Chain A
Amino acid sequence: MSIGLLIFVFILAIFLGVELITKVPSQLHTPLMSGTNAISGITIVGALTAAGTGADTVASIVGTIALILATINVVGGYLVTNRMLAMFKRKDAEQK
């Protein structure tokens, strides 16, 4: 993959991110933050490769720690966000 293309994708994604997030009601700021925080755990994909292909012991150890941390970030992040969002209720929903 060419370097230019990667940078191109990065810049487009930044603009997309800005467009997606404008006008979020403040009550959702915390779940939004912890939800996007879970997404930043995508580095788990890099950590998988790092843990699975380490050239030597040091590399494997570093990679495995990265994988543990990224997994905590992903699993913890999604669960905690889900827990928070489950608490947000509307009047009509409660009456059902």
Chain B
Amino acid sequence: MTDYIEILIDLGYIVASILFIIGIKMLGKPERAQRGNLVSALGMLIAVVSALFECCLSFSLVIAGMVVGATIGVIAARTVKMTSMPQMVAILNGFGGLASLLVGWENYHSAPDSNLFITIAIFLAILIGGVAFSGSVIAYGKLSGRLSGKPIFFNGQQFVNATIIVAILLCGAIFAYNPAGSFSYVIFIVIIVLALVLGVLGVIPIGGADMPVVIALLNSYSGLAASAAGFIILNNVLIVAGALVGASGLILTGIMCKAMNRSLANVLFGGLQAAVSKEGTGEVQGEPHPISPEDAYYILEAAGSVVFVPGYGMAVAQAQHAVRELGDILEDNGAEVRYAIHPVAGRMPGHMNVLLAEANVLYDQLAEMDHVNPIMESIDVCVVIGANDVVNPAARETASSPIYGMPVINADKAKTVIVLKRSMAAGFAGVDNPLFVKENARMLFGDAKASLQQLVAEFKEA
């Protein structure tokens, strides 16, 4: 009888693993993504039910824990605003990492004299889980504006980080050698603290615009931490699911780095910052051409094709609905409207897509950078909304620019460019943008949402 149940439980885990694999596969296809998410959720349900058959001596704590967690999860998911999605993903990711850390802790506390393999797995779970947790909390703070989005540097930063890593490895070796020793629990706690500090120090030097890379990387860590937890409790479903997430997070990280033409090391250790201070690229010549909303209206009114390029400024101004309203009016006016999205626009991978989708922009109108650039010269008007570095032609033209080589949307090649911007301040990278002073560029200063609403009003009056 017992054997029979054990086989059923294992079968449940196998089915769950398969559903995760199918679910992730479907998440990569626009038409099937939503179903893919449900498939993977079904896998999770099966895994949890299977685990309930073997997990517990007492169910009171288990049920209480799940009810509390589910309630918080539902409320958070229902109430979070779409503009707050980056920090939501970051904090959920942090919870997953901390959960893996605590699973490692509980297992060590209950059975400190496990074999070497499990002890190493415990070490990895608390290390990776700890870094994923504290790193995600800092990322959450930066994304939600509770902490400054600016990169934070201090003297000897690399040295401090390296020292902590060496200390962690040293503690890990001592811990693995004798996990049940009288002093070992102290070392165990020290490792946790050091891992948490490492996560904080790892994320503070990373600026707002590099956040897409960091979130993807932390996502990968929390997956690997779950895998490590799987090695502790010798459970394949954790190992498989954790590895899938770990790998997919790494792939996304790579995609984000490529979109910025920077290596992962460069992003993590703040190479851009160094480049900026070295260059002093204040050599942009010329005057911007400011225009009024009325002028902008006349330009747009006559346009046969319009491309919107949204950036983080659109998210800050919460202007996505106004953008879509203007886009619809332009379409009714006979213009062909597209939305060109740079892979790292915003604060997380795909950030702009989510916001525009919230505003009901159909995704057939969303265009990737590589599809828009070849046709940019035939576009009448390109409207840049709160984007800066991702449309900076210096990345193409100025070899001395810190962002030289980064693929950008060639907004300057459109016949006319209208830039919605608060002021002439430089973008995150601190680089001047020659686009703003080009002959075909017009600056519409002010809050992006207000400017768009004025444009909409102009069209309605006409």
Contacts and interface: CB of A to CB of B under 8 A. Distances in A.
Interface of A: 1, 3, 6, 9-11, 13-18, 20-56, 58-60, 62-91, 94
Interface string B220-243: 001101110111111111111111
A31 B37 contact: yes
B223 A36 contact: yes
Given A52-B62, A69-B98, A90 B92 contact: no
B363 A89 contact: yes
A66 B73 contact: no
Nearest to A62: B106
B328 to A, nearest CB: 12
B249 A75 contact: no
Given A17-B244, A17-B246, A41 B99 contact: yes
Interface centre among B85, B109, B348, by most chain A C-beta atoms within 10 angstroms, is B109
A32 B76 contact: no
B24 A21 contact: yes
Nearest to B73: A75
Contact of A26 (B235, B250, B349, B357): B349
Given A39-B241, A43-B96, 7 more contacts: A6-B230, A9-B240, A46-B100, A46-B226, A52-B56, A63-B102, A88-B353
A30 B353 contact: yes
B357 A89 contact: yes
A41 B78 CA distance: 19
Given A63-B106, A80-B88, A84-B354, A70 B69 contact: yes
A72 B350 contact: no
Contacts of B64: 64
A77 B77 CA distance: 8
B9 to A, nearest CB: 11
Contacts of A36: 24, 27, 219, 223, 244-245, 248-249
B363 A50 contact: no
B40 A82 contact: no
A21 B110 contact: no
Contacts of B105: 62, 66
Q: Is the interface of B mostly helix, strand, loop or mixed?
A: helix
Contacts of A23: 28
Contacts of B102: 47, 50, 62-63, 65-66, 69
B21 interface: yes
Contacts of B368: 25-26
Given A43-B100, A69-B99, A80 B85 contact: yes
Contacts of B69: 67-72, 74-75
Contacts of B234: 1, 6
Interface of B: 20-21, 23-25, 27-28, 30-31, 33-34, 36-38, 40-41, 44, 47-48, 50-52, 54-59, 61-62, 64-66, 68-70, 72-74, 76-78, 80, 82, 85, 88-89, 92-93, 95-96, 98-100, 102-103, 105-107, 109-111, 117, 215-216, 219, 222-223, 225-227, 229-252, 255, 341, 343, 348-351, 353-354, 357-358, 360, 362-364, 366, 368
Contacts of A39: 20, 23-24, 40, 44, 223, 241, 244-245
Nearest to A87: B357
A49 to B, nearest CB: 4
B182 to A, nearest CB: 17
Interface centre among B77, B98, B103, B362, by most chain A C-beta atoms within 10 angstroms, is B103
Contacts of A55: 109-111
Nearest 10 interchain pairs by C-beta: A71-B69, A17-B247, A52-B56, A75-B73, A29-B350, A29-B349, A79-B77, A13-B243, A66-B102, A67-B65
A62 B109 contact: yes
A34 B76 CA distance: 14
B323 to A, nearest CB: 15
Interface centre among B21, B66, B225, B242, by most chain A C-beta atoms within 10 angstroms, is B66
Given A28-B27, A43-B229, A67 B62 contact: yes
B457 to A, nearest CB: 26
Contact of B242 (A42, A60, A71, A89): A42
Contacts of B241: 39-40, 42
